[in-house]
A and B are shown apart, each in its own frame.
Chain A
Amino acid sequence: MKELLDALSNPWPWYIVGPLIGLTVPLLLVLGNKSFGISSTLRHICAACVPMDIPFFQYPWRKEIWNLIFVAGIFIGAIIATTTLRSQEPIQVTDELRAELATYGITNMNGLVPTDLFNLHNLFTLKGFILMIVGGFLVGFGTRYAGGCTSGHAITGLSNLQWPSLIATICFMIGGIVVANFVLPYILRL
């Protein structure tokens, strides 16, 4: 049992994780005829908590409670993965990125989220505000405007050969490549 836990505690390679993520699509279909897509949960939360009189939030969100329960599971799974299945090895960061980030003073690589950037104090600095609040806003606004995120478009949509999903996925990548390479360096220097 201990050996199994040890084996599972090491970071899992992409060729294990990728196919298992892909299997989530048929699994949800078989279990309850549900489509795998996570950004919709943000909409359900709006519809449940602050629908106001906005037509976009007037729909039977209770039918989608399964999705909110699914993301609650993601949260619990992440806790399990960082406690019971905690890795003894440091997280993997390529030397290239490590050297680059060091020039911005980002050296703490103890967690999957860099605490040098994402911390409560930084929330009140321009840099942290842009990364966390503006970034988060763009994730919520952009995914709904695009009609899906990495799960709904890139995985489910492409799996079902939906060409609008291909366009959306290409745009996700273009947006990310532009910001990571040409905008983020300026933000990190703030």
Chain B
Amino acid sequence: MKTTGSETTKLSQGDNGDVQSLDRESQPILKAHSPLHYIQYILVGIFFGILLVKGEVISWFRIQEMFRFQSFHMYGVIGSAVLTGMISILLLKKFHVKALNGESMVFPVKKFSKGNIYGGLLFGFGWAMTGACPGPLYAQIGTGAVVVIFTLLSAIAGTWVYGLLQKKLPH
């Protein structure tokens, strides 16, 4: 509750303080934060969840086949997804497309750290065991594999422990 309060003050402060972040918040897109605005994300999520299941991307078996080079399926999915994403971003940049709320698009920049390597390997180990990356964990539960709730809780615990140890880990 306290945070909500301070956020509201922040919103009404206009151009004081952290200009960059306030800029986004203080524009007349305030209506963008109404509950109705969130419906679009649940719709995209539903669409994405259906894709994950119908494409068998969340299949433990498909993941094993991928890591054992027994099937092309997952390579086809990931490869064509990356290609489509790449072409899309290229076009969005080329034509300076703006987001629907009028903002200039922010394309995610990833900074290198040794965590990309260590963390990447550790995630790879977990991916092979559970047959799921984070998105599929949510989807697997939806397919009725209720026990995966425990895997998800453990993943949340893993993220929490990372947060706890962050400063002590090599980056």
Residues of A within 8 A of B (CB): 8, 11-12, 14-35, 37-39, 41-43, 45-46, 50, 54, 56-57, 60, 62, 65-67, 69-82, 85, 87, 91-94, 96-97, 101, 109, 111-115, 117-120, 123, 130-165, 167-181, 183-184, 187
Contact = CB atoms under 8 A, between A and B. Distances in A.
A31 B122 contact: no
Q: From DSSP, what is the main secondary structure of chain B's interface residues?
A: helix
B30 interface: no
A169 B120 contact: yes
Contacts of A159: 82, 85-86, 88-89
Contact of A171 (B77, B83, B124): B124
Nearest to A66: B41
Given A135-B129, A140-B154, A155-B78, A75 B49 contact: yes
Contact count band on B = 35 or more
Contacts, number: 513
B135 A71 contact: yes
Given A155-B78, A162-B109, A113 B122 contact: no
B20 interface: no
Interface in B53-105: 53-68, 70-74, 76-86, 88-89, 92, 97, 99-101, 103, 105
A94 B63 CA distance: 12
Contacts of B151: 118, 132-133, 135-136, 139
B46 A94 contact: no
A90 B162 CA distance: 39
B46 A179 contact: no
B38 A69 contact: yes
